[in-house]
Structure 1
């Protein structure tokens, strides 16, 4: 029985296609869904550029942990608002337990969040905005498949999906 689903999403336009699969997987079991979006952390190179090229005020704003948390909270709110405003997304939110936006290495963070939330299955797309003709699996999907200790449901994402018109996942401004 599937009681908990971790839906890992890049919140890109193709993610709307995966929503249909997540919902259909959750409905028969009345499963709770956690939508997870992982943003890459500020890496050493970016931090060095900010340190060497930016004003003191910008350094404080960009590198301060509370500022990053505020940005992540903003993305979370935008995501919930977009889902709630869309007819399909509104139905999806009834199964939604939480929206989690965290910074970290994507594949590792997905695995950690699945364990922390005791997910029974991870659902994710095969790649983000890459050309499906040239990319069978994205690097994050590939790594999650290698590391996961629970089933991973991979949804093939294509630009021709009929679900793209739903609008639930319009581009989100990432930090």
Structure 2
């Protein structure tokens, strides 16, 4: 029985398309949905800029408050997208129990969150925003498929859909 679905999203162009699958499965199984978006660490360039331009005290404040503000902003954007998607009266929004924005490495965070919320299924797209080759799985999707202890519902992202979404 599927009671909890973890929807891992990168908030890319295909998010609306994926939400239709999430909503359909959540309604079919009367399951609750936990939305997870992972924010990757800023990397060497970001760290170097913070080191170069901020004092020690400012760096500490930025790391504490800045990350928190960014997470709140991203979470707000995700909630806006969800509300916009379900504005036509669909009940899908009522299935969403939590929206989590978590810094870290995507594969590790998604698998950890799936275990933490006792997810019965993970839903994600076949490609992330960085994947340019349509016939290859994204690296995160590939690793989740290999490592997940629960079923993974992978939605293939159709090239035509992505081209239409970019234009319209």
Say whether the fold is shared (TM-score over 0.5). yes
Please tell me the root mean square deviation across aligned C-alpha atoms, in Å: 2.5
Asked whether 1:94 is paired with 2:67, we answer: no
Asked whether 1:8 is paired with 2:42, we answer: no
**Mapping 1:31-50, distance limit 5 Å:** 31-50=31-50
* Distance change >3 Å, CA 48–CA 59, structure 1 → 2: farther
Shift of 1:58: 10
1:48-85 per-position Cα deviation (integer Å, ceiling 9, x unaligned):
34213x14399538841232012101111121123213
2:120 paired residue number: 120
Shift of 1:34: 0.6
Structure with the bigger RCO (C-alpha within 8 Å, sep 6+) is 1
Bigger shift: residues 79-88 or 98-107: 79-88
1:22-49 per-position Cα deviation (integer Å, ceiling 9, x unaligned):
1111112210001110010233553134
Q: Equivalents in 2 of 1:62, 1:152: separation in Å?
A: 39
**TM-score in terms of structure 2 length:** 0.84
1:62-111 per-position Cα deviation (integer Å, ceiling 9, x unaligned):
84123201210111112112321333696321111111101000011100
SS at match of 1:35: strand
Q: Number of matched residues?
A: 162
Shift of 1:146: 1.4
1:72 paired residue number: 71
Long gaps (5+) in structure 1: 166-175
Long gaps (5+) in structure 2: none
* Distance change >3 Å, CA 41–CA 60, structure 1 → 2: same
1:113-145 per-position Cα deviation (integer Å, ceiling 9, x unaligned):
000110000000000233453x42000001111
The answer to whether the 8 Å contact 1:36/1:101 transfers is yes
